[in-house]
Amino acid sequence: MPKAVKLFVRYVDVVNRVVGRWVMWLVLVMMGVLLYASIARGFFGTSYIWIIETSQMLLAAYYLLGGGYSLQLGAHVRMDLLYSRWSPLTQARVDTVTSLLVIFYLVMLLVGGISSTVYAIEYNQKNYSSWAPVLWPIKVVMCIGIVLMLLQMIAVFFKDLAAARGQPLAEDLPQGEALEGEGLE
């Protein structure tokens, strides 16, 4: 693989690893928001209309921004009826084709996300609830998460293509060039 491809894969992996590890903490923030809601309702008899929507937005940010990291780790769901019985070369070839399909899906998702975000910004779109928060911030986060997943999927495609050609990326990198723990397989 060309050096530019190796650098792309390496830096996309680094970015998604950093973002993914920071985004993991959003679960604790969401738990804190929900704990606050429980305490406020249980001890003080008050209820806040913003709590459910805030936790939904935090959850959306969590799984969208962490999607690229999940792809990098291979932590996504895989239908394994035949896959585990195939040779690594066949697996890499099939993964190369399916990677292209996922890239197409993510491009279409990004086009829709950008369109929705532009609409939300232009018209100051608000959620249809009594709290009525503006929606553009979570839609911007949505687009960033989709871009990170798209970049990671392109990196996965290059890894699969290299493996299908019998030249895994990790073996192509000169000694000391691979980032420690980045798993460029």
133-180 tens-digit pLDDT = 999 999 999 999 999 999 999 999 999 999 999 888 864 443 334 444
**Torsion angle defined by CA atoms of residues 64, 69, 73 and 76, in that order, rounded to the nearest 10 degrees:** 10
> So what's the pLDDT on residue 170?
66
Between 55 and 1, name the one with better pLDDT: 55
**What mean pLDDT, rounded, does the chain reach?**
88
Give the angle subtended at the CA of 117 by the CAs of 114 and 122, to the nearest 5°: 125
Evaluate whether 15 touches 145 at the Cβ level (below 8 Å). Answer: no
More confident residue, 141 or 2: 141
Output helix, strand, coil percentages for the chain, rounded to the nearest 5: 70, 0, 25
Mean pLDDT of 13-34: 95
Query: 69 phi and psi, to 5 degrees?
Result: -65, -40
Task: Locate 101 and state its tokens.
Answer: 């399909």
Say yes or no to pLDDT of 123 above 80: yes
Task: Please give the single-letter amino acid code of residue 95.
Answer: D
Dig out the tokens for 122 from the structure: 């232009």
Per the model's pLDDT, the better-predicted residue between 180 and 54 turns out to be: 54
For 28, other C-beta atoms within 10 Å of its C-beta total 10
State the pLDDT at residue 176. Answer: 37
**What number is the average pLDDT over the span 101-109?**
98
Which CA distances in Å does 28 have to 17, 22, 42, 137? Answer: 19, 11, 20, 20
Residue 84: predicted pLDDT: 85
Residue range 70-87: average pLDDT?
85
Q: What are phi and psi of 133, to 5 degrees?
A: -75, 155
Averaged pLDDT, 100-105: 97
User: Is the model's pTM score more than 0.95?
Assistant: no
Q: Could you tell me what percent of the chain has a pLDDT over 90?
A: 69
